[in-house]
Amino acid sequence: MATFVLVPGFWLGAWAWRDVTAALRSQGHEVHPMTLTGLAERDHLAGPEVGLDTHTTDIVRLIEVEDLHDVLLVGHSGGGMPVAQAADRIPDRIARVVYVESGPLPDDTAQFDTVPPEEQQRLRAAIGTGHLLPPPAWDPAADPTNLAGLDEPTLGLLRTRATPQPLRTATDPVRRTGGHPVPTALVASTFPLALVQQMIREEHPFFTGLADGQLHELPTGHWPMLSEPKALADVLDLITRT
């Protein structure tokens, strides 16, 4: 039995991990899906002060309060940034960091830095003077790659349940001490594994620190916990055994 902490990406809460959680528990694992401050059922806490360190502290405190050890800390998409920082703060409690459609961005890099300038401008215009990043429209015609594998009921669930993301979690840069690195794994869905391996060899910043980690491919869209939850649970279970 392994111990998992599941951290969602932008706009989502613990609810997005429901089917993965059930599958992992049926395999005998202990599983803690998380909702980060300011999102889902905690969206009433989405003040302008909520940033990347807030979400990092959410993860650290859950692990410490529940007294978890040998944790497989899973971060999906934008959840990879607080996961990387949390593992840096409490490496003695983390067995492995698993990046799902994510990666350990280099220090002093923010999620916003990975977005093309024209998209940054569009997002800034949508945000205006506010402090929340609105969720996407969840329109498969406009975003077929990322939304691949999601049926209409699931898309409807995303449109209903996704909540705006505290902006500073996207604009605050990642910062780690780097003193005690922990093992890593990657689950790639929208990037073919051969391309990921090439990017790692070329030291692409998206995959900094994954050269010695496990690499797994799960072809689907950007939200595999919703499009392929059983398959994702099986990959996570495999990671515990290798």
pTM over 0.75: yes
- Per residue in 205-241, pLDDT (tens digit) is 888 778 889 999 999 999 999 999 999 999 999 999 9
Residue of 165, 8, 178 whose CA lies nearest to 79: 8
Q: Which two tokens stand for residue 191?
A: 């990037």
Segment 119-134 mean pLDDT: 87
| pLDDT band with cut points at 50, 70 and 90 for residue 204 | confident
The active-site residue, picked from 77, 102, 189, 227, is: 77
Segment 80-105 mean pLDDT: 96
Tokens 């309060």 — which residue?
A: 65
Q: Which two tokens stand for residue 232?
A: 């994702």
Spatial separation of the C-alpha atoms in residues 212 and 203, rounded to whole Å: 12
* Strand-pair partners of 184: 97
CB atoms within 10 A of CB 143: 14
Res 161 pLDDT > 90: yes
Q: How far apart are the first and last CA of the chain?
A: 13
| Cα 150 from chain centroid (whole Å) | 18
User: What pLDDT is attached to residue 122?
Assistant: 84
| pLDDT band with cut points at 50, 70 and 90 for residue 119 | confident
Res 127 pLDDT > 90: no
User: What pLDDT is attached to residue 85?
Assistant: 96
Spatial separation of the C-alpha atoms in residues 202 and 208, rounded to whole Å: 10
Res 70 pLDDT > 90: yes
Quick check: is 102 catalytic? no
Q: How far is CA 26 from CA 13, 70, 241, in A?
A: 21, 20, 16
Segment 174-185 mean pLDDT: 90
Cβ(236)–Cβ(72) below 8 Å: yes
Q: How far is CA 143 from CA 26, 77, 195, 210, in A?
A: 33, 16, 20, 27
CB atoms within 10 A of CB 75: 28
Q: What is the DSSP letter of 221?
A: -
